[in-house]
Amino acid sequence: MIPNYHFIRGYAGGRGPTLALLFFLLLSGCHQNTQQKEHEMATNELILFHAGSLSVPFREVADSFGQQHPNVDVKLEAAGSVDCARKITELKRECDIMASADYRVIDKLLIPDHTGWLIPFAANEMVLVYHGRSRYSGEVSAENWPDYLMRDGVYYGRSNPDSDPCGYRTVLTLRLAEQHYDKPGMASQLQAKDQRFIRPKETDLLALLESGALDYAFLYRSVAEQHGLPYITLPDAINLGNPGLEEHYAGVTVNIAGSKPGDTLTMKGEPMIYGVTLIQDAPNPQAAREFMHFLLTSDKGMAIMERNGQPSLVPAATDHYQQIPEGFKKYAKTNQR
């Protein structure tokens, strides 16, 4: 320390410059410490975009994860899955993890530019939800609901197909129902009816049901069960919930808005499969990996999903198996089709 001190004094030619240099070094050290603390704070925040139908289970998963990782602040942001993807592709929002109600949203909108893989992890099915004051609720059944929904004075809601998988799955359900019940034109008539009750995501319909503005709404079975709402179970031929009816479901399609203005995507009927992925250039990759492992572990995150009415598919087949990082391949399997 003494030789350095004399060197500084001799080079500077006096005490003033020496004090200035020491003050500069002190400020530099403080600036570096501040930058380091800001970096540590930034990397402790985990940003997760997810489908609205995952709101209830993901809050529980995040709370349980937080008990094991108290320094990680999980930021959950719910929206229609298509809108979630557009936040990444169009708005350039930072995101660590994206969980979609339809794995195809990740496949079609995020791969390969924003991620290279996905893991299918949960299932669901379409149901027709109502409430205690719904008109004709004592008469409506799995076989006659189309007749009642088409009546004047009966109001039903659905989510926007261009924003939310539940929205385009509702359209697919209506088109399958038209075939199943042999009612030509029924799907178009119901799509044209009650358009003022279309909302960005399916969970937005809950308040309309609770207020009595709606009599019925097409929602996921898990959402109905999580919120204690009565519902009508639809036949497997139309509910998109039976993996054994994949070819049957594929007989109907719907076009939705693509990732760029003017583009369209054709979505065919498929059994409901949720998907999750890590986003490339995630701001907090280490915490994101830890959360993914927690979510996909059978006695942790997937147990919470099961309790909330969303059956686990882990490990499920995926076309992207080879691109999945080694540590996550145990949660999936290769698609042999």
Q: Is residue 263 part of a domain?
A: no
State the pairing for strand pair 97-100/274-278: antiparallel
For 90-116, what is each residue's pLDDT tens digit?
999 999 999 999 999 999 999 999 999
Instruction: Tell whether the model's pLDDT for residue 9 goes beyond 50.
Output: no
Judge if 137 and 200 occupy the same domain: yes
Q: What is residue 29's predicted lDDT score, i.e. its pLDDT? A: 53
Instruction: Please state the rounded mean pLDDT for residues 268-274.
Output: 97
Task: Name the pLDDT band for 10 (thresholds 50, 70, 90).
Answer: very low
Domain count, the chain: 3
Task: Name the pLDDT band for 231 (thresholds 50, 70, 90).
Answer: very high
Instruction: Please state the rounded mean pLDDT for residues 325-333.
Output: 97
Paired tokens of 337 = 């089709």
Instruction: Tell whether the model's pLDDT for residue 11 goes beyond 90.
Output: no
What is the three-state SS of 162-189?
Answer: CCCHHHHHHHHHHHHHHHHCCCCCHHHH
Q: Is residue 238 part of a domain?
A: yes
Judge if 241 and 134 occupy the same domain: yes
Paired tokens of 189 = 């008539």
Is the pTM here over 0.85, yes or no? no
Judge if 287 and 318 occupy the same domain: yes
Euclidean distance between CA atoms 61 and 163, whole angstroms: 25
Judge if 86 and 209 occupy the same domain: no
List the CATH number of the domain containing 132. 3.40.190.10
Instruction: Please state the rounded mean pLDDT for residues 119-140.
Output: 97
Instruction: Tell whether the model's pLDDT for residue 28 goes beyond 70.
Output: no
Residue 52 in contact with residue 204, Cβ under 8 Å? Answer: yes
Which strands make up the sheet holding 231-233, listed edge to edge? 198-199, 156-159, 216-220, 126-130, 231-233
Task: Name the pLDDT band for 258 (thresholds 50, 70, 90).
Answer: confident
Cβ contacts of 211 within 8 Å, gap of 6 or more = none
Euclidean distance between CA atoms 206 and 228, whole angstroms: 11
Judge if 283 and 185 occupy the same domain: no
Residue 323 in contact with residue 117, Cβ under 8 Å? Answer: yes
> What is the distance of C-alpha 70 from the center of its chain?
23
Euclidean distance between CA atoms 136 and 26, whole angstroms: 76
Judge if 326 and 228 occupy the same domain: no
Judge if 116 and 133 occupy the same domain: no
Q: Is residue 268 part of a domain?
A: no
Judge if 142 and 234 occupy the same domain: yes
Tell me which of 320 and 19 has the higher pLDDT.
320
Judge if 137 and 240 occupy the same domain: yes
Respond yes or no on whether the N-terminal peptide bond of residue 112 is cis (omega within 30° of 0): yes
For 65-94, what is each residue's pLDDT tens digit?
999 999 999 999 999 999 999 999 999 999
Q: What is residue 43's predicted lDDT score, i.e. its pLDDT? A: 53
Q: Is residue 139 part of a domain?
A: yes
- Phi and psi angles of residue 266, each rounded to the nearest 5 degrees, phi first: -100, 120
End-to-end CA distance of the chain: 72
> What is the distance of C-alpha 243 from the center of its chain?
21
Instruction: Please state the rounded mean pLDDT for residues 40-55.
Output: 83
Report how far apart, in Å, the C-alpha atoms of 298 and of each of 69, 141, 335 are: 18, 35, 21
Q: What is the chain's length?
A: 337
Max CA pair span of the chain: 99
Q: What is residue 41's predicted lDDT score, i.e. its pLDDT? A: 39
Residue 217's nearest CA partner among 128, 137, 305, 108 is 128
Q: Which domain holds residue 135?
A: 126-257
Instruction: Please state the rounded mean pLDDT for residues 120-141.
Output: 97
Query: Tell me, what DSSP letter sits at residue 337?
Result: -
Q: Is residue 206 part of a domain?
A: yes
Q: Is residue 265 part of a domain?
A: no
Q: What is residue 335's predicted lDDT score, i.e. its pLDDT? A: 83
Query: Tell me, what DSSP letter sits at residue 60?
Result: H
Q: Is residue 10 part of a domain?
A: yes
Instruction: Tell whether the model's pLDDT for residue 62 goes beyond 80.
Output: yes
Tell me which of 291 and 335 has the higher pLDDT.
291
Judge if 167 and 217 occupy the same domain: yes
Judge if 132 and 241 occupy the same domain: yes
Task: Name the pLDDT band for 37 (thresholds 50, 70, 90).
Answer: very low
Judge if 130 and 253 occupy the same domain: yes
Helix or strand run (H / E) with residue 43: helix 15-43
List the beta bridge partners of residue 318. Answer: 334
Q: What is residue 15's predicted lDDT score, i.e. its pLDDT? A: 47
